[in-house]
A and B are shown apart, each in its own frame.
Chain A
């Protein structure tokens, strides 16, 4: 009995329950929906780009989600398959099975979930469980979650469980509680006020048994606290969150006993046609995991968002930034302005200009005394002046993007970016030079008929460091809403090594009907980093045929 997995029990519940109790009623009101996706690739060896020979030749990642809802009751599971994981995905994903299943019941002010769940407290600085299929990230908690809303404007949440670790679970137990108050709903006097205020607070504790091998006096329960606010008044919005974590020696911080801190502040002003934003953040020793020995992206209890713009054009995404959990200070500013329609500068359809700037530096770190070096194993690590910027630049990005509809037939997006990228710190390539890159992008769309259009992307990246200059070119023909065909080439013509001045060409085609999509592409993929949200993964170079099928129902 002990061996029977919860998933099996749930499935039994699924199938037997409807028959046993008022079978007809249960089925009548119920709905089943889901989605699935298959990503498969056939690999060809390619010595030139350094693509490894894949002994399996063919690799596949796939999942299927099935959710059953009936009134207040919801249950579901996700089957996943990595046989074997696609290149660039964590090898620990290898296998297939049901890593995610849950049942939940929701009535008025009360909600309970058993099994796996995702959630986040505030902006996630001390707790965020989420999934990102394209990166192979899933740190769902397997346990119990309760949510209660006793009065309008008040929500309490409690979570308890262990995190998913590929096909296993975290050694640590994650416990947490969160409270959220929307003051305008709570106080009668405030209801009509233009100023809207939300405040919240959360507490998380991770328990992990002692590890005698480390020969350290370890905290077995690592607690973290966070408080947040959001004030909006008409066109102005101001929000922030501060988090504090007690000493938590782990692999990421080299087992130092310093406490951790994180601060995130954002202010924005916006009206129709103009939006301005300014954000600052400071992260100090905030890696928080449900296994102190884990040194990859897995088993993160919290989420530290990078405050930089996420780029998607291939050349702009060449040097993406990832948060440095051991310490960073940064700011971001953005202005989006639309020159009105039918004005001299705006033209017939108006023109949108977006300017974005971000910079991230190290934090100030000082020795705790004369004899102990900074970050020394088993010590307090370092002292840090909260308001002082560190000397090392991690990242800087200035970019401007102009979007303009020229006529009924032509649309244009033009951008320029200037990026400074500390490849040594961000990618962990010690000794490599700081990359300074200038990037220009032109994206032109021409409509032949209302539903047939051709899009051209031309991108150029100039840098004296790393792999030198690149050029990228893409043509995409679409017949709305079903078909797309594209050809693309990325050419590393400026590589200092003549033998590596290679073309990375790809041809692709896809067909979409409603929420069903099938796409095929053939060609070379360059080695690089892909990021979604705040997380990135390295993708090795590969060559071959890729098939993607996805469907929602």
Chain B
């Protein structure tokens, strides 16, 4: 009896959800979650901003090889990206207490110049529905999530930058 009721309610809910999706075809914004800066201060993710310019949010960890490859590939061209479009990359490390203290000295040692934040218990990762890393989000100037991508292959950064350029020009990238 209980199971049936649950099932019926679930179906009902899916209808409600799909209905509401259809009606409000707008982009999601970043949820408000308390994470940390690399200095150990508390930081609320709703404060992620870039003066009306595009934002890249990338989830990564020190133990994730493809993530490191992505960060390294972008580091080579990041200066040009910033000069041309004003884009800012927020790199969210999901390293837990085992390695979160290593994030700051490692990224400095590698000479990466992104905005680094720590999500040691995966709270922001969960709120953003990230399954596997690397997982990259692109936000337009209004802070709306217009695109996301999981995994990294050499050259993926080129596609990302094409999209950043389009977003900078105010083009809709979801055909």
Q: Give every chain B residue within 8 A of A120 (Cβ-Cβ).
A: 97, 120-121
The answer to whether A277 touches B102, judged by C-beta atoms less than 8 angstroms apart, is: yes
The answer to whether A11 touches B24, judged by C-beta atoms less than 8 angstroms apart, is: no
Nearest A residue to B153 via CB reads A478
The answer to whether B20 touches A30, judged by C-beta atoms less than 8 angstroms apart, is: yes
Q: Give every chain A residue within 8 A of B107 (Cβ-Cβ).
A: 275
The answer to whether B120 touches A268, judged by C-beta atoms less than 8 angstroms apart, is: no
The answer to whether A481 touches B39, judged by C-beta atoms less than 8 angstroms apart, is: no
The answer to whether B151 touches A517, judged by C-beta atoms less than 8 angstroms apart, is: yes
Interface string of A118-132 (1 = CB under 8 A from B): 111001100010110
CB distance from B94 to the nearest CB of A (A): 9
**Is residue B81 within 8 Å, beta carbon to beta carbon, of the partner chain?**
no
Q: A239 vs B100: C-alpha distance in the bound complex, in angstroms?
A: 11
**Is residue B17 within 8 Å, beta carbon to beta carbon, of the partner chain?**
yes
Nearest B residue to A332 via CB reads B102
- With contacts A32-B20, A481-B159 taken as known, whether A306 is within 8 angstroms of B98 at the C-beta atoms is yes
* Interface 9-residue window, one of A333-341, A363-371, A463-471: A333-341
Nearest B residue to A241 via CB reads B97
The answer to whether B24 touches A481, judged by C-beta atoms less than 8 angstroms apart, is: no
For chain B, the count of residues having a C-beta within 8 Å of the partner chain is 69
Among A4, A155, A305, point to the contact of B2 (Cβ < 8 A). A4
Q: A552 vs B149: C-alpha distance in the bound complex, in angstroms?
A: 9
Q: A286 vs B158: C-alpha distance in the bound complex, in angstroms?
A: 48
Among B40, B97, B101, B132, point to the contact of A198 (Cβ < 8 A). B40
The answer to whether A447 touches B154, judged by C-beta atoms less than 8 angstroms apart, is: yes
**Is residue B127 within 8 Å, beta carbon to beta carbon, of the partner chain?**
yes
User: Which residues in window 97-111 of B have CB below 8 A to A?
Assistant: 97-102, 104-111
* Interface 9-residue window, one of A167-175, A450-458, A494-502: A450-458
Q: A37 vs B126: C-alpha distance in the bound complex, in angstroms?
A: 14
**Is residue A480 within 8 Å, beta carbon to beta carbon, of the partner chain?**
yes
The answer to whether B149 touches A18, judged by C-beta atoms less than 8 angstroms apart, is: no
Q: A411 vs B65: C-alpha distance in the bound complex, in angstroms?
A: 14
**Is residue A403 within 8 Å, beta carbon to beta carbon, of the partner chain?**
yes
Q: Give every chain B residue within 8 A of A350 (Cβ-Cβ).
A: 111
Interface string of B57-80 (1 = CB under 8 A from A): 000001111000000100010000
CB distance from B125 to the nearest CB of A (A): 10
CB distance from A352 to the nearest CB of B (A): 6
**Is residue A8 within 8 Å, beta carbon to beta carbon, of the partner chain?**
yes
Q: Give every chain A residue within 8 A of B62 (Cβ-Cβ).
A: 310
The answer to whether A275 touches B97, judged by C-beta atoms less than 8 angstroms apart, is: no
User: Which residues in window 35-50 of B have CB below 8 A to A?
Assistant: 38-42
**Is residue B96 within 8 Å, beta carbon to beta carbon, of the partner chain?**
yes
- With contacts A514-B148, A550-B132 taken as known, whether A30 is within 8 angstroms of B102 at the C-beta atoms is no
- With contacts A32-B21, A481-B156 taken as known, whether A276 is within 8 angstroms of B97 at the C-beta atoms is no
Interface string of A143-161 (1 = CB under 8 A from B): 0000100000001000000
Among A33, A269, A313, A452, point to the contact of B129 (Cβ < 8 A). A33
Q: Give every chain B residue within 8 A of A190 (Cβ-Cβ).
A: none
The answer to whether A451 touches B63, judged by C-beta atoms less than 8 angstroms apart, is: no
CB distance from A112 to the nearest CB of B (A): 14
Among A7, A273, A510, A553, point to the contact of B109 (Cβ < 8 A). A273
Interface string of A1-41 (1 = CB under 8 A from B): 00111011001101100110000000111111111010000
CB distance from A120 to the nearest CB of B (A): 5
**Is residue A69 within 8 Å, beta carbon to beta carbon, of the partner chain?**
yes
**Is residue A312 within 8 Å, beta carbon to beta carbon, of the partner chain?**
yes
CB distance from A256 to the nearest CB of B (A): 26
- With contacts A69-B31, A232-B40, A310-B62 taken as known, whether A275 is within 8 angstroms of B9 at the C-beta atoms is no
The answer to whether B41 touches A196, judged by C-beta atoms less than 8 angstroms apart, is: yes
The answer to whether A27 touches B19, judged by C-beta atoms less than 8 angstroms apart, is: yes
Q: Give every chain A residue within 8 A of B64 (Cβ-Cβ).
A: 312
Q: Give every chain B residue within 8 A of A65 (Cβ-Cβ).
A: 126, 129
Q: Give every chain B residue within 8 A of A230 (Cβ-Cβ).
A: 39-40
The answer to whether A31 touches B24, judged by C-beta atoms less than 8 angstroms apart, is: yes
- With contacts A239-B101, A272-B108, A277-B102 taken as known, whether A27 is within 8 angstroms of B32 at the C-beta atoms is no
- With contacts A8-B6, A196-B39 taken as known, whether A480 is within 8 angstroms of B159 at the C-beta atoms is yes
For chain A, the count of residues having a C-beta within 8 Å of the partner chain is 108
The answer to whether A106 touches B32, judged by C-beta atoms less than 8 angstroms apart, is: yes
The answer to whether B105 touches A336, judged by C-beta atoms less than 8 angstroms apart, is: yes
Q: Give every chain A residue within 8 A of B41 (Cβ-Cβ).
A: 182, 196, 198
Among A18, A403, A515, A552, point to the contact of B72 (Cβ < 8 A). A403
**Is residue A296 within 8 Å, beta carbon to beta carbon, of the partner chain?**
no
Q: A313 vs B66: C-alpha distance in the bound complex, in angstroms?
A: 11
Q: Give every chain A residue within 8 A of B24 (Cβ-Cβ).
A: 27-31
Q: A484 vs B109: C-alpha distance in the bound complex, in angstroms?
A: 30
Q: A124 vs B13: C-alpha distance in the bound complex, in angstroms?
A: 37
**Is residue A270 within 8 Å, beta carbon to beta carbon, of the partner chain?**
yes
Q: Give every chain B residue within 8 A of A312 (Cβ-Cβ).
A: 63-65
The answer to whether A512 touches B155, judged by C-beta atoms less than 8 angstroms apart, is: no
Q: A147 vs B42: C-alpha distance in the bound complex, in angstroms?
A: 13
User: Which residues in window 1-21 of B have CB below 8 A to A?
Assistant: 2, 5-6, 9-10, 12-13, 16-17, 19-21
Chain B CB within 10 A, most for which of A12, A277, A350, A550: A277
Nearest A residue to B41 via CB reads A182
The answer to whether B96 touches A124, judged by C-beta atoms less than 8 angstroms apart, is: yes
Among B2, B9, B28, B158, point to the contact of A451 (Cβ < 8 A). B158
Q: Give every chain B residue within 8 A of A525 (Cβ-Cβ).
A: none
- With contacts A28-B23, A32-B17, A312-B64 taken as known, whether A130 is within 8 angstroms of B122 at the C-beta atoms is yes
Q: A276 vs B101: C-alpha distance in the bound complex, in angstroms?
A: 11
CB distance from A282 to the nearest CB of B (A): 15
Q: Give every chain B residue within 8 A of A269 (Cβ-Cβ).
A: 105
Q: List 13 A-B contacts (CB under 8 A).
A: A4-B2, A15-B9, A67-B129, A106-B32, A147-B34, A275-B104, A312-B64, A451-B156, A481-B156, A515-B149, A550-B150, A552-B148, A552-B150
For the complex of A and B, the 4 pairs showing the least CB-CB separation, nearest first, are A336-B109, A275-B105, A275-B109, A480-B155
Can you name 7 extra interface pairs (CB under 8 A) apart from A66-B17, A305-B96, A403-B72?
A: A118-B123, A124-B121, A273-B108, A275-B108, A334-B102, A515-B150, A516-B150
Identify the A interface with B (CB < 8 A).
3-5, 7-8, 11-12, 14-15, 18-19, 27-35, 37, 65-69, 74, 106, 118-120, 123-124, 128, 130-131, 133, 147, 155, 180, 182, 196, 198, 230, 232, 237, 239, 264, 266, 268-277, 279, 303, 305-307, 309-313, 334-338, 349-350, 352, 354, 403, 405, 411, 445, 447, 449-453, 455, 478-481, 483-484, 510, 512, 514-517, 532-534, 550-553
